[in-house]
């Protein structure tokens, strides 16, 4: 890597690519995140009901996703909005994993909850509002679970890498970076999707990078285009919100895809994945795509 990048990110030396460490592969169940396969994480913003979660899990699995997302602890903009089911939500996620075989990613908001969330989740999600909550990052690092670290909505790439470095410093090498959009003067989209950050992170860091087009766009009709851009920018995967009935979702319905929308988005990624030499070949997906035409 050119010296200038190393100088620029001097506070995060261990997250930068080197000849000894060209790429980190985060192993989750039988998945290798960052290992060349494109990994889709999909599911509702919040875990609401058993039916909602199971229906979504089965659908996204057929569509080619390998990880189920869903919040049991929700950082809401309003203190009066639904805050999540907590432990009951984690239990529903664990049942969905048993039934579907999907791995689970879910947010942990408080360091006190880390041991409980780590018992149920395969990946701990650190949300945008907590990217610089160092005591939470330390606790998440010590849990031994892989950490999905979302970029703070007002954080620079250097800030994101510093937080990743802190997790590595606490003995956990399994960090997945996530670009989810940042705040800018533009308010027509919920956040500004910083595709340049994806390209940069892929260029300078050995950590896997995934893109969250849902929280970036804020509007479901924009999500597939941002997902395709993420594939073109060499992201290792996606985190995308899917709900059986988005208009009735308890959170983030506006940006959630319904099942047909998810299928369409996934199908639209294929040519972009092919440019990278990638094909989603899970037999269930192939059969499902044939069935939906
Ligand atoms: C989420 O993934 O539902 C979420 C709250 O994301 P963010 O922290 O990026 O807003
Ligand atoms: Mn959400």
Domain boundaries, the chain: 2-292
Distance of CA 192 from the midpoint of ligand 1 (Å) = 14
**Which residue is listed with tokens 């950590």?**
207
Q: Where are the beta strands (DSSP E) in 155-219?
A: 175-179, 209-211
User: Which whole-number Å values give the CA distances from 108 to 27, 168, 225, in the listed order?
Assistant: 20, 18, 29
Q: Using 50, 70 and 90 to split pLDDT, how confident is the model at 76? A: confident
CA 125 to ligand 1: nearest atom: 2
What's this model's pTM, rounded to 2 decimal places? 0.96
C-beta of 127 in contact with ligand 1 (< 6 A): yes
Give the contacts of 42 (CB within 8 A, at least 6 positions apart): 56, 60, 63, 65, 67, 68, 69, 238, 239, 240, 241, 242, 262
Average pLDDT over residues 4-8: 90
From 212, 249, 251, mutation site for ligand 1 pocket: most ligand atoms within 8 A of C-beta: 212
Q: Of 9-23, 69-83, 219-233, which gets the smallest average pLDDT?
A: 69-83
Domain 2-292 CATH (choose: 3.20.20.70, 3.40.50.11900, 3.40.50.1240, 3.20.80.10): 3.20.20.70
Distance 205 CA to ligand 2 centre (A): 26
- The finding on whether 215 has its CB within 6 A of some atom of ligand 1 is yes
State if residue 45 touches ligand 1 by the CB under 6 angstroms criterion.
yes
Ligand with the closest atom to the CA of 210: 1
pLDDT above 90 for 126:
yes
C-beta of 151 in contact with ligand 1 (< 6 A): no
Residue of 180, 181, 191, 194 best suited for mutating to test ligand 1, as the one with most atoms within 8 Å of CB: 180
Residue 179 backbone phi and psi in degrees, to 5? -90, 120
pLDDT tens digits, residue range 177-196?
999 999 999 999 999 999 99
Structure tokens at 239: 């985190």
From the CA of 251, give the closest atom in ligand 1: 3
Q: pLDDT per residue over 221-265, tens digit each?
A: 999 999 999 999 999 999 999 999 999 999 999 999 999 999 999
Report how far ligand 1's centroid is from the alpha carbon of 136 (Å).
Answer: 16
Least confident of 94-103, 167-176, 284-293: 284-293
Give every CB contact of residue 158 below 8 A, 6+ residues apart in sequence: 8, 9, 11, 12
């Amino acid at each position: 890597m050119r010296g200038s990048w190393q100088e620029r990110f001097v506070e995060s030396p261990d997250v930068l690519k080197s000849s000894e460490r060209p790429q980190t592969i985060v192993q989750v169940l039988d998945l290798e995140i960052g290992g060349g396969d494109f990994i889709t994480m999909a599911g509702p913003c919040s875990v609401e009901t058993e039916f909602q979660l199971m229906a979504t899990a089965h659908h996204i699995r057929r569509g080619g996703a390998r990880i189920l997302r869903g919040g049991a602890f929700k950082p809401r903009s309003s203190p009066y909005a639904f805050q999540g089911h907590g432990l009951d939500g984690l239990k529903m996620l664990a049942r969905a994993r048993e039934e579907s075989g999907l791995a689970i990613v879910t947010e942990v908001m408080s360091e006190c909850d880390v041991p409980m969330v780590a018992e149920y989740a395969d990946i701990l999600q650190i949300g945008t509002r907590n990217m610089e909550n160092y005591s939470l990052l330390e606790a998440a690092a010590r849990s031994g679970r892989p950490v999905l670290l979302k970029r703070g909505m007002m954080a620079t790439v250097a800030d994101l890498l510093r937080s990743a470095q802190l997790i590595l410093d606490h003995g956990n090498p399994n960090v997945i970076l996530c670009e989810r959009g940042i705040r800018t003067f533009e308010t027509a989209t919920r956040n500004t999707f910083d595709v340049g950050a994806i390209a940069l992170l892929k260029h300078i860091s050995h950590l896997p990078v995934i893109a969250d087009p849902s929280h970036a766009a804020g509007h479901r009709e924009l999500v597939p285009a941002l997902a395709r851009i993420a594939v073109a920018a060499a992201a290792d995967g996606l985190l995308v919100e899917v709900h059986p009935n988005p208009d009735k979702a308890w959170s983030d319905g506006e940006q959630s895809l319904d099942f047909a929308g998810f299928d369409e988005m996934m199908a639209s990624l294929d040519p972009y994945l092919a440019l990278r030499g990638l094909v989603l070949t899970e037999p269930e997906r192939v059969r499902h795509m044939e069935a939906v035409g």
